[in-house]
Amino acid sequence: MRDDVSDATRRASPIDTAGNAVIAKAHAAGRQRRFGQISIEVRRSASFPLRLFALAAALVTGLGLSAFALILVGVPAESLADEFVSATILDPMNFKAVLVQAAPLILVGLAAAMAFRVRFWNLGIEGQMIFGGVGATLVSLLHLGPEWARLPLMGLAAVTCGALWASIPALLKLRLSVNEIISTLLLNYVAYYVLLHLLYGAWKDEDGFPHSPAYAASELLPNLDSGVSVSLVLAGGMTLLMTYLVARSRAGFYMRFVSANPGVARALGLPVANMVLFVVLVSGSLAALAGFVVSSGQEGRLTQSFFPGYGVSGVLIGFLARNNPVAAAVVALLMSVLVIAGQNLQVFYGIPPSMVQLIQAVVVMSVAASDFLVIHRVHWIRYRA
């Protein structure tokens, strides 16, 4: 039967009638490689210590590479630790700046982490922040409610506006299957121009600058006696609330099924669409709170300070935290250290502001790459002599 195999086949599959000769030949070729081989196989599951080790290794690698880059642009190696640890965490002024910066970062991190839990890639965090600020400012400009209720009302208005804004891509996705990556991203521009329209138009301050009139004293998020801003308390409270929602409520249980396998969740009769809508509204509300915190806790008015950066930072925090709310808060705090340290480095060593983004990117890529080790098992096979 082999005899009628054409020439082409013979070349393609070098089978000779002796059969085993092929194997012997290939075997001999293998033996010429003296150092053995790397073998890679897929793990069936990864243990917790292994995951921890991979994460630690990734962080060390990422930070090591970042340190190298910083040294290259002229930061002395011996002062790196000084700038990152002593100057930010041990210096009271800077530490306070870290905490102030941490509040909105925690909120955007939570916003991303929650949305990712139902496979909704919310890249519209900045737009939702803008509408949070717009909602809060609306209450401030209209002097709604008695003075003591002004701040809660501003918060409520911010959440409502942010959630409504986030409901647009959610409904587009659920009703018309519009990809939310595109819609959320593009709606950011819409939100941005709405903001400009207000700040250059109806809401322009009397001083002529494109920002809203300053909030009244009762409309600013105060500091507690201990010096900690209410913003941070708000962010911490949201972290706990999200942890409860994810770990202890039925919604969290459903979210795990929607995330693990939407098809199975649907076949099991779980309210998949309603879960997605609910979680996106929660995500939009968290982003809007971040906008409220920036306006009322940092700027004291509606400005253009929702600079491109919060959205990306939120996504990175959500990713690094593996969508876990508590981890998101921790990562956001570290991110805040990085931002403040970066500002100091800019002032003292003249490094470009993009270095901070570079460090973020390097760390994120290292963590993403470490997944390979978690998913695969790599062996070294040595040939015996």
Q: Which residues sit at the interface with another protein, rule CB under 8 A? A: 1-2, 4-6, 8-9, 11-15, 17, 19-20, 22-24, 26-27, 30, 37-41, 44-45, 47, 248-253, 256-257, 260-261, 263-271, 379, 381, 383
Euclidean distance between the first and final Cα of the chain, in Å? Answer: 40
Please state, as a whole number, how many other Cβ atoms lie within 10 Å of the Cβ of residue 34. 8
Nearer to another protein, 237 or 352 (CB): 237
Q: How far apart are CA 155 and CA 234, in angstroms?
A: 11
Buried (b) or exposed (e) across 229-239, using 16+ Cβ within 10 A?
bbbbebbeebb
Nearer to another protein, 278 or 310 (CB): 278
Contact 332, 103 (CB under 8 A): no
Shortest CB 261 distance to another protein, Å: 4
Positive or negative: CA dihedral 169, 151, 303, 116: negative
Q: How far apart are CA 280 and CA 78, in angstroms?
A: 46
Contact 213, 205 (CB under 8 A): yes
Nearer to another protein, 214 or 270 (CB): 270
The pairing of beta strand 376-381 with beta strand 37-42: antiparallel
Nearer to another protein, 13 or 226 (CB): 13
Nearer to another protein, 224 or 268 (CB): 268
- CA 191 from centre of chain: 20
Shortest CB 220 distance to another protein, Å: 34
Contact 125, 315 (CB under 8 A): yes
Shortest CB 180 distance to another protein, Å: 22
Nearer to another protein, 2 or 225 (CB): 2
Give burial (CB, 10 Å; 0-12/13-18/19+) of 11.
Answer: exposed
Shortest CB 384 distance to another protein, Å: 8
Q: Is 38 helix (H, G, I), strand (E, B) or coil?
A: strand
Contact 116, 318 (CB under 8 A): yes
Shortest CB 242 distance to another protein, Å: 15
Q: How far apart are CA 318 and CA 379, in angstroms?
A: 32
Shortest CB 116 distance to another protein, Å: 14
Nearer to another protein, 131 or 278 (CB): 278
Shortest CB 241 distance to another protein, Å: 12
Nearer to another protein, 38 or 217 (CB): 38
Shortest CB 249 distance to another protein, Å: 6
Q: How far apart are CA 107 and CA 162, in angstroms?
A: 13
Contact 105, 332 (CB under 8 A): yes
Shortest CB 163 distance to another protein, Å: 19
Shortest CB 24 distance to another protein, Å: 7
- Alpha helices by DSSP H, listed for 177-261, are 180-200, 230-248, 250-260
Q: How far apart are CA 227 and CA 99, in angstroms?
A: 10
How many Cα atoms are found within 13 Å in the side-chain-facing hemisphere of 93?
3
